[in-house]
Structure 1
Amino acid sequence: MPGTPDTPDRAVPAVRLGPAPVVAETEALTALAGAGVAGALEAAVVLGRDVPPPGVGRTLHRWEVLATLGAADLVVARTLEPHLDALAILDEAGLPGDPDRPDARWGVYAAEGPGARLEARPGATRADPGDATGATGPAAPAGWVLSGRKPWCSLAGAVDHALVTAWTDDEHRGLFAVDLRQDGVTVEDGTWAPSGLAEVRTTPVAFADVPARAVGAPGWYLRRPGFGWGGIGVAAVWHGGAVGVARRLHDQAQRREPDQLALMHLGAVDAALTASRLALGDSAAAIDAGTADGAAGTLLAARVREVVAGAAEEVLRRAAHALGPGPLSQEPEHARRVADLALYLRQHHAERDAAALGRLVAGPGSPW
């Protein structure tokens, strides 16, 4: 029998996105439920070795790991997703992480904000966190130095390394790997008091002449195929979070005979999650087939994120209408899951991202 609201069932099933579900990782992934940021970061190194990067033939597997984490615990998923994304970015660039710290926990900080600007300038590095020369390609200088402030750095006080974007001139940004334990790095207090993802603290970080290693040439971070793929990975976590909420709705139907309205909500949730699942599965197939690069990859990522975000918001709305105030006021796990997902979904920019998708399909020729 499923757990009661006071004693939830901790055995979180894997989230299936295709015919071959996650099997080997399921027990380990679901055991992370409730582990928090510290527990997630403890698991990060092992998980980083086990989860394949996108585009190597096992992208659906990667999406299912992320979705299963999202269904188990969104704080854990939100902690692990940037670490896995950083490893995939480094792999795409043909670079190792920190050779001296193979157990490094990574963040990815690419947001911009008013009143905060991080700049990179060529310079000799002291205690270079990368290889002995700092070389990343023919056009790369020997080393870089970061100065300024970077906003919206989630878990900067918990991870020890990060990939950060910084301005190399007035028009171009580059991506840099930096050891956050160095002198000159200050994780600021900031103001962060959300009801969702409360443990995933987000603050500005100040850099004062901090050595860093270039990852690709300026502009590479946004131009690379994996940029859109990483965005789809985040959507896979959203899908998992929505599945977690939807399972509470399905559980309600097992506890008592659903009336017609309850069945209507359950059916609508199933349709939304099916659309989301198919979009993620289709994206994995396209990425592995090599048909999701360049403009095609940008369009695919925008479509998938729009579908998944819309489905997740539909699940939140339907679950609230069908379940009423009881679970939100008397079941801390469900209330926390709803709050976490609602905040996490705001990485999708709602109508602005829908308009961006519209712009991508507004050219000549029908996209359908």
Structure 2
Amino acid sequence: MPFLESVAAAAGDVPALLALAPEAGRTWPHPGDGQTVVLWELLASVAAIDVAAARVLEPHLDAVAILAQAAREFPADTTLPFDAANTSWGVFAAEAPGARLEARSAGAGTLLSGSKPWCSLAAQLDCAVITAHTDDGGRAAFAVDLRHPGVACEEPAWIARGLREIPSGTVHFDQVPATLLGGTGWYHGRPGFAWGGMGVAACWLGGAVGVARDFRTGLLAGAGAGREPDQVALAALGEADRTLTASLQYLARTAGRIDDGSLGSGAGQSTWSEAQRIRGTVAAAVERVLHLVGSNRGPGPLAFDEPYAKRMADLALYVRQHHGARDDAQLGRLTLKGDCPW
């Protein structure tokens, strides 16, 4: 596929990847529009090439989908004062102690003031979908032009060894105009919120596929040089295969349920609980593949094979967007209420 070839050529070059983002936003399907499996396959394929590339493109595609969802539900309220189709986008929805972004009504519009943490690549992006606290005590999403003079991006002390080209820092807003997307509670309450979380899991899984391919390639290279893989290595490759295959099938089945409308339509089962299952299952699969491959390949490739070492470090950091036992506890609360398929 030519686009994936362009991703491979641009890997490691954030401006080049951001230049590809508008094309993906215009041509790739949106979740829930009948081709969710195609979207997730594309995201996974990008991550299998380069995890950081997926970390660049996925938020842009999520933002484009959010804008489309808002425009369908609130067509009279989502006209943007800038060119959304030909710009690069992020999605900034994290919260942190000591950082608070406020949205205040100003005549017929809204102004954002305050600080927003964990804004990846903010200094290099054109626009963002961003959540802020509203006058009525809730939170809402807004579209904002990051090039406005009231926007100041901190230079983060980004010491991470993974995703080194994707720094995440705090952005400060001073009376920055913003376009409301859907009203208070809409961003977190729409089905697309869960769909977006599953799309991130597709990226994690694609990264793990890349790691497993590195492992298989290494075993084949060793065999070609007369070092046949032993039973331990073959067992690790076999376990990686069934772990990845099970998660890939789960994602594909869930994508089909999103598109046919059956996800979340059953008695007592919500879209969000399924998103938590998907994310937890994929995160566990990724962690297992990282362990299997890392323990079998040993320190040599981590020390001397730059693409492999980068992939391992990038994926280990990216998958930490899943909060482990805390996310399982949230799922457990839903399960206790009967929000489960069993």
Give the TM-score normalised by the residue count of structure 2.
Answer: 0.92
- Which deviates further from its counterpart, 216-225 or 248-257? 248-257
In the alignment, which of 108, 111, 125 is matched to residue 94 of structure 2?
111
| Aligned residue runs from structure 1 range 161-200, under 5 A | 161-169=127-135, 171-200=137-166
In the alignment, which of 211, 230, 233 is matched to residue 245 of structure 1?
211
More helix by share: 2
In the alignment, which of 269, 275, 289 is matched to residue 260 of structure 2?
289
Q: Show CA shifts across 1:307-331 (max 9, x none).
A: 1111010000000111111110110
Secondary structure, counterpart of 2:123 in structure 1: coil
- Which deviates further from its counterpart, 249-258 or 311-320? 249-258
Secondary structure, counterpart of 2:152 in structure 1: strand
Give the percent of matched residue pairs that are identical in Structure 1 and Structure 2.
Answer: 49
What amino acid sits opposite 2:276 in the alignment?
A
What amino acid sits opposite 2:38 in the alignment?
H
Q: Is residue 173–residue 219 contact of structure 1 (8 Å, CA) maintained in 2?
A: yes
Matching of residue 70 in structure 1 with residue 47 in structure 2: yes
How far apart in 2 are the matches of 1:181 and 1:58?
Answer: 33
In the alignment, which of 78, 95, 106 is matched to residue 123 of structure 1?
106
How far apart in 1 are the matches of 2:199 and 2:79?
Answer: 21
Q: Show CA shifts across 1:159-210 (max 9, x none).
A: 0101110000473001111001112110012321100001101110000111
Tell me the equivalent position of 1:324: 298
Q: Is residue 25–residue 85 contact of structure 2 (8 Å, CA) maintained in 1?
A: no
Q: 1:88 to 1:98 in 2, by over 3 A?
A: farther
- Which deviates further from its counterpart, 231-240 or 293-302? 293-302
Q: Is residue 44–residue 206 contact of structure 2 (8 Å, CA) maintained in 1?
A: yes
Matching of residue 57 in structure 1 with residue 31 in structure 2: no
What amino acid sits opposite 1:89 in the alignment?
I
Tell me the equivalent position of 2:56: 79
How far apart in 2 are the matches of 1:278 and 1:362?
Answer: 26
Tell me the equivalent position of 1:91: 68
Q: Is residue 140–residue 182 contact of structure 2 (8 Å, CA) maintained in 1?
A: yes
Q: 1:366 to 1:82 in 2, by over 3 A?
A: closer
How far apart in 2 are the matches of 1:320 and 1:100?
Answer: 45
Q: Is residue 131–residue 142 contact of structure 2 (8 Å, CA) maintained in 1?
A: yes
In the alignment, which of 299, 314, 337 is matched to residue 273 of structure 2?
299
Q: Is residue 174–residue 215 contact of structure 1 (8 Å, CA) maintained in 2?
A: yes
In the alignment, which of 249, 252, 269 is matched to residue 278 of structure 1?
249
What amino acid sits opposite 2:284 in the alignment?
G
How far apart in 1 are the matches of 2:279 and 2:95?
Answer: 21
Q: Is residue 173–residue 218 contact of structure 1 (8 Å, CA) maintained in 2?
A: yes
Q: Is residue 108–residue 162 contact of structure 1 (8 Å, CA) maintained in 2?
A: yes
CA positional deviation for 1:366? 7.0
How far apart in 2 are the matches of 1:349 and 1:364?
Answer: 22
Matching of residue 357 in structure 1 with residue 331 in structure 2: yes
Matching of residue 36 in structure 1 with residue 36 in structure 2: no
Note the aligned Cα RMSD (angstroms): 1.7
Matching of residue 343 in structure 1 with residue 317 in structure 2: yes
Secondary structure, counterpart of 1:199 in structure 2: coil
How far apart in 2 are the matches of 1:213 and 1:365?
Answer: 35
Tell me the equivalent position of 1:367: 341
Q: 1:115 to 1:329 in 2, by over 3 A?
A: same
How far apart in 1 are the matches of 2:32 and 2:239?
Answer: 32
What amino acid sits opposite 2:275 in the alignment?
A
Secondary structure, counterpart of 2:294 in structure 1: helix
Secondary structure, counterpart of 1:176 in structure 2: strand
Matching of residue 262 in structure 1 with residue 233 in structure 2: yes
Q: 1:100 to 1:277 in 2, by over 3 A?
A: closer
Structure 1 unaligned blocks of 5 or more: 1-22, 125-141
How far apart in 2 are the matches of 1:35 and 1:198?
Answer: 9
Q: Is residue 275–residue 307 contact of structure 1 (8 Å, CA) maintained in 2?
A: no
Q: Show CA shifts across 1:67-118 (max 9, x none).
A: 0010011111101110000000001111466553531110100000000000
CA positional deviation for 1:332? 0.9
How far apart in 2 are the matches of 1:197 and 1:90?
Answer: 27
Give the TM-score normalised by the residue count of structure 1.
Answer: 0.85
CA positional deviation for 1:275? 1.5
Structure 2 unaligned blocks of 5 or more: 72-77
